């Protein structure tokens, strides 16, 4: 009989011999079947989302790849045809891919005819995270936000100390332990998105323009993003952008176009009391030394009335017994104030835009009837015959009264992108009826109009509108929403 210590050694040696090779993340691993058992299998690391790509380097019709995602434990059998929890990666011209959740890791198995030998590559990537967010562009600048990377705890007020956020809201303290977020951008014609979407590959690319400022910004109040202000871009050009996180995780691509060289509205951003404002606004050029407007150079004549409206609204709202008398089981005064702030900021800071270069005639040339709710979403065939949705753009002449009387005259014509009606409906839904908020309202924004039927259908069916969203990853922005 063998001594116990030797037995232990033997079993651990056996276990070692049987453990599967773990595939590394974010690099391509190359193999040749001559140096692999048949069938062969590999262990996959535990990840919330994995993108697996396999590519044969030589022809082999007998190769079949299978994956399972229950566990990467050595005691689990190789995945194969018909196995429970096993999926086949179907090869197409020698290439195949699989995206999925591998909470406990997984196993990749390869089956082939014994007579057939070939080499192949396997690459594992973190699957794409949420997309970066396109704020807006001018002819040579852009505001791009990373995906939301960290939640912010906002204490929900309760009775009897029901305290709402100040009208003159400030940004929360800086995020703890943020990831390293890098913006990588290039003209779409360069083909950045055709190369590997990996941190190592993208980080080696030079980026277009100059990153003039990057800052953490709680655009949505309860989430952090990183905001990039890019300058030095070319007019009327389509750009591709990625955000690389900690050199490995990749978010993107998104696409956007810069405006034409005649576009004169400057960008406004970084306003703590209107954290969602990050777009072009019809204002005169920013004061000397600045390329955009932010909290430090925006005229008080614009910010003060807005904060005063916000303060007066908050005062009216708190005459209601917030947190004690419920007007809805789902929403409270804090939701009402938050939605009203978004709406007020979006209405006060009119948004400038222009038709997308791929659809130069894509706007409604005639204003809606005074009695109409606003511009209805419509589609029209583009130059290539394909249907394109027209944005809720309305030309504004120099003589037209500005929608917000506190905005100084811009002195030249521009196109106004109408707010999405859904933003107004969100206030209507979140606020107690005694405030009398109605959509459209003629209190502050007499004669206001909206983009209607883009997100929700014209009849109000949720997400059943023509586009289902205010903007998309391809650079289309149909109506104004913050
Ligand atoms: C993944 O596979 C699908 C289906 O074969 C293919 O259309 C797609 O282009 C592949 N994606 C990548 C990134 O290789
Ligand atoms: C395995 O993949 C399926 C389908 O993608 C998914 O629903 C399931 O949550 C995954 N299981 C684990 C443990 O990750
Ligand atoms: C009420 O709540 C606010 C904010 O949450 C807090 O600053 C304040 O101290 C509280 N007041 C009392 C009397 O508890
Ligand atoms: C963040 O990533 C960039 C690009 O990969 C790198 O140059 C920089 O040194 C990193 N910064 C930190 C603090 O790790
Ligand atoms: C970047 O923008 C923020 C917000 O406007 C500002 O506080 C900060 O000073 C700017 N940083 C630089 C280097 O300009
Ligand atoms: C809002 O707060 C900032 C600093 O937090 C202050 O500089 C500014 O004057 C305030 N604005 C108004 C209108 O109260
Ligand atoms: C807010 O209320 C005060 C006091 O009633 C009033 O003087 C002020 O004009 C109001 N502000 C706005 C923007 O209506
Ligand atoms: C930018 O390029 C992408 C990819 O070619 C395309 O799908 C998109 O429509 C373009 N966007 C604009 C605004 O031209």
Per-residue DSSP letters for 320-339? S-TTTS-S-SS--HHHHHHH
373 CA distance to ligand 7 centroid (A)? 28
- Asked whether residue 403 carries a pLDDT value surpassing 80, the answer given is no
Mean pLDDT of 195-213: 81
Ligand 4, from 177, 206, 247: best to mutate by most atoms within 8 Å of Cβ? 247
Q: Which ligand is nearest to the CA of 228?
A: 5
Of 127-136, 285-294, 310-319, the one with minimum mean pLDDT is 127-136
Of 75-84, 180-189, 260-269, 320-329, the one with minimum mean pLDDT is 320-329
Mean pLDDT of 196-225: 88
pLDDT at 13: 38
Mean pLDDT of 439-468: 75
pLDDT at 364: 55
Mean pLDDT of 45-59: 84
- Asked whether residue 248 carries a pLDDT value surpassing 80, the answer given is no
pLDDT at 447: 45
Is the CB of 87 inside a 6 Å radius of any atom of ligand 2? no
- Asked whether residue 303 carries a pLDDT value surpassing 50, the answer given is yes
Mean pLDDT of 21-44: 89
Q: What is the DSSP string of 5-67?
A: HHHHHHHHHHHHHHSPEEPPTTSEEEEEGGGS-SSEEEEE--EEEEEEEEEESS--TT-EEEE
pLDDT at 15: 42
Confidence of residue 200 (pLDDT cuts 50, 70, 90): low
Name the residue at shortest CA distance from atom 3 of ligand 3.
Answer: 163
- Asked whether residue 383 carries a pLDDT value surpassing 80, the answer given is no
Query: How far apart (Å, rounded) are the C-alpha atoms in residues 331 and 333?
Result: 7
Query: How far apart (Å, rounded) are the C-alpha atoms in residues 323 and 337?
Result: 13
pLDDT at 123: 82
Name the residue at shortest CA distance from atom 13 of ligand 6.
Answer: 304
| Nearest by Cα to 144 from 43, 14, 24, 239 | 239
Query: How far apart (Å, rounded) are the C-alpha atoms in residues 14 and 75?
Result: 13
Confidence of residue 362 (pLDDT cuts 50, 70, 90): low
pLDDT at 266: 97
pLDDT at 104: 92
Query: How far apart (Å, rounded) are the C-alpha atoms in residues 65 and 86?
Result: 10
Using the Cα atoms of residue 329, residue 330, residue 332 and residue 337 in order, give the sign of their dihedral: negative
| Nearest by Cα to 351 from 168, 481, 217, 219 | 481
In CATH terms, 23-73+80-125 corresponds, of 2.60.120.380, 2.40.37.10, 3.40.1360.10, 3.30.1180.10, to 2.60.120.380
The alpha carbon torsion through 174, 177, 178, 182 (nearest 10 deg) reads 120
| Nearest by Cα to 52 from 90, 93, 96 | 96
Helices (H) and strands (E) in the chain, counts: 5, 26
Output b/e per residue, 156-193; b: 16+ Cβ within 10 A.
ebeeeebebbebebebbeebeeebebbbbbbbbeeebb
Instruction: State what percent of residues in the chain have pLDDT above 90.
Output: 54
207 CA distance to ligand 4 centroid (A)? 14
Is the CB of 104 inside a 6 Å radius of any atom of ligand 2? yes
- Asked whether residue 330 carries a pLDDT value surpassing 90, the answer given is no
333-348 vs 300-317: helix axis angle to the nearest 10?
160
- Asked whether residue 11 carries a pLDDT value surpassing 60, the answer given is no
Helix ranges (H only) for 375-444 are 421-430
Query: How far apart (Å, rounded) are the C-alpha atoms in residues 123 and 264?
Result: 46
Mean pLDDT of 428-436: 90
Helix, strand, coil abundance in the chain, percent, nearest 5: 15, 30, 55
pLDDT at 446: 36
Of 291-300, 400-409, 423-432, the one with minimum mean pLDDT is 400-409
β-bridge mates for residue 399, sequence order: none
Q: Which residue has the higher pLDDT, 27 or 14?
A: 27
Of 143-157, 182-196, 297-311, 375-389, the one with minimum mean pLDDT is 375-389
Using the Cα atoms of residue 314, residue 320, residue 321 and residue 323 in order, give the sign of their dihedral: negative
pTM of the model: 0.79
Of 115-119, 133-137, 309-313, the one with minimum mean pLDDT is 115-119
Using the Cα atoms of residue 475, residue 479, residue 480 and residue 482 in order, give the sign of their dihedral: negative
- The fold for domain 127-263 equals Immunoglobulin-like (2.60.40)
pLDDT at 378: 81
Average pLDDT, the chain: 86
Of 108-112, 189-193, 264-268, 287-291, the one with minimum mean pLDDT is 189-193
Is the CB of 97 inside a 6 Å radius of any atom of ligand 1? yes
414 CA distance to ligand 8 centroid (A)? 23
Name the residue at shortest CA distance from atom 4 of ligand 3.
Answer: 163
Task: State which H helix or E strand residue 217 sits in.
Answer: strand 210-217
Q: Which residue has the higher pLDDT, 366 or 323?
A: 323
Mean pLDDT of 333-343: 95
Q: Would you kindly state where each structural domain of the chain is located, as residue ranges? A: 23-73+80-125, 127-263, 280-481
- List strand residue ranges (DSSP E) for 403-452, in order: 414-417, 450-452
Q: Which atom of ligand 1 is nearest to the CA of 90?
A: 5
């Amino acid at each position: 009989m063998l001594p116990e210590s030797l037995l232990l050694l033997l079993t651990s040696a056996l276990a070692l011999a049987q453990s599967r090779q773990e595939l590394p993340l974010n690099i391509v691993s190359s193999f040749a079947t001559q140096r692999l058992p048949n069938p062969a299998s590999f262990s996959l690391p535990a990840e919330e989302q994995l993108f697996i790509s396999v590519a044969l380097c030589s022809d082999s019709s007998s190769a079949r790849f299978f994956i399972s995602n229950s566990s990467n434990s050595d005691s689990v059998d190789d995945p194969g045809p018909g196995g429970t929890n096993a999926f086949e990666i179907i090869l197409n011209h020698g290439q195949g891919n699989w995206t999925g959740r591998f909470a406990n890791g997984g196993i990749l198995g390869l089956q082939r005819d014994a007579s057939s030998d070939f080499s192949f590559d396997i690459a594992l990537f973190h699957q794409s995270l949420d997309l970066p967010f396109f704020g807006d562009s001018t002819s040579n600048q852009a505001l791009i936000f990373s995906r939301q990377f960290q939640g912010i705890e906002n204490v929900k007020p309760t009775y009897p100390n029901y305290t709402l956020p100040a009208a003159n809201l400030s940004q929360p303290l800086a995020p703890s332990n943020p990831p390293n977020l890098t913006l990588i951008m290039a003209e779409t014609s360069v083909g950045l998105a055709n190369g590997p979407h990996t941190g190592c590959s993208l980080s080696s690319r030079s980026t277009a323009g100059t990153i003039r400022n990057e800052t953490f910004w709680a655009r949505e109040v309860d989430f952090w993003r990183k905001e990039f202000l890019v300058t030095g871009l070319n007019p009327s050009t389509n750009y591709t952008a990625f955000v690389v996180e900690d050199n490995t995780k990749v978010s993107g691509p998104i696409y956007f176009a810069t405006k034409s060289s005649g576009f004169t509205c400057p960008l406004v951003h970084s306003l703590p009391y209107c954290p969602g404002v990050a777009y072009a606004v019809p204002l005169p050029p920013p004061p000397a030394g600045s390329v955009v407007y932010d909290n430090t150079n925006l005229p008080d004549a614009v910010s003060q009335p807005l904060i005063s409206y916000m303060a007066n609204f908050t005062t009216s709202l708190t005459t209601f017994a917030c947190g004690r008398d419920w007007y809805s089981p789902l929403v409270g005064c804090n939701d009402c104030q938050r939605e009203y702030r978004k709406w007020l900021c979006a209405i006060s800071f009119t948004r400038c835009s222009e038709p997308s270069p791929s659809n130069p005639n894509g706007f409604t040339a005639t204003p809606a009837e005074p009695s109409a709710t606003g511009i209805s979403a419509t589609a029209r065939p583009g130059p290539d015959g394909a249907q394109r949705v027209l944005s809720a753009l309305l030309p504004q002449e120099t003589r037209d009264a500005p929608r917000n009387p506190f905005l100084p005259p811009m002195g030249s014509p521009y196109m106004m992108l109408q707010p999405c009606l859904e933003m107004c409906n969100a206030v209507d839904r979140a606020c107690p009826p005694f405030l009398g908020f109605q959509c459209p309202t003629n209190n502050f924004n007499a004669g206001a109009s909206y983009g209607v039927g883009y997100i929700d259908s014209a009849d109000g069916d949720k997400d059943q509108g023509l586009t289902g969203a205010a903007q998309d990853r391809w650079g289309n922005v149909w109506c104004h929403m913050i």
